[in-house]
Amino acid sequence: MPNTNIETHTVVETENTDQGVLASLGLNGQLFTFQLINFAVVAVIIWFLILKPLTKKLAEREKMIDESIENSKKVQENLTKAERDYQKKIDDAKAAAGQILDNAAADGKKTGEQLKVQARKEIENLVDQAKRNIQIEEKEMVVKLKSETASLIVAALEKILEEKVDEKKDKQLIESAIKKLTP
């Protein structure tokens, strides 16, 4: 059987040689066209069903990654800016708080001084008032003492003299005694 095959092919190849070099190589216009169409079909299938969707997805993914990197850079920049703003606000707040504390301390000191002065004034007023009251009471006591002394002197004189002086003489005696008592 193998010998038959070799013989068959030898016959075919001899015929092909007769038809020319191209035919001996198996080149045939009809088959060439058919294989060209086959290759075109393969190329269309490979491109439109395999390579194009894959390259499209690759490009989309690349774009997405680029955008993500760009966005992350923006987010990083915003974060840094926000941190800077935050730090600035914290510093401002600290400065403001310090200022408020200083002001409060100054106000406290001032108020304390004012209260001290006010208290001193009030104490002085109280002392003055007390002194005035004492003077008034002293005067009242002097008047009362004079009155009591006069009555006492009259009673003592009446007792000593055992005489009843008239009202006019009595009054003279009292007044003279008072005058003597007045410092």
- Applying CB under 8 A, the residues found at the interface with other proteins are 2, 5-6, 9, 12-13, 16, 23-28, 30-32, 34-36, 38-43, 45-58, 60-61, 64
Query: Quick one: 16 or 149, whose CB is closer to other proteins?
Result: 16
Shortest Å distance, C-beta 31 to other proteins:
4
Phi-psi region of 182 (alpha: psi -120 to 50; beta: other; left: phi over 0): beta
Please state, in angstroms and rounded to a whole number, the distance separating the CA atoms of residues 115 and 27. Answer: 122
Shortest Å distance, C-beta 7 to other proteins:
12
Q: Where are the alpha helices (DSSP H) in the chain?
A: 2-19, 21-24, 29-45, 52-161, 167-181
What the block records as the tokens of 110 is 């001032």
Query: Quick one: 21 or 160, whose CB is closer to other proteins?
Result: 21
What the block records as the tokens of 148 is 């009591």
**By the 8 A CB rule, do 174 and 154 touch?**
yes
Query: Quick one: 5 or 182, whose CB is closer to other proteins?
Result: 5
Shortest Å distance, C-beta 73 to other proteins:
21
Please state, in angstroms and rounded to a whole number, the distance separating the CA atoms of residues 136 and 143. Answer: 11
Shortest Å distance, C-beta 1 to other proteins:
9
Query: Quick one: 47 or 86, whose CB is closer to other proteins?
Result: 47
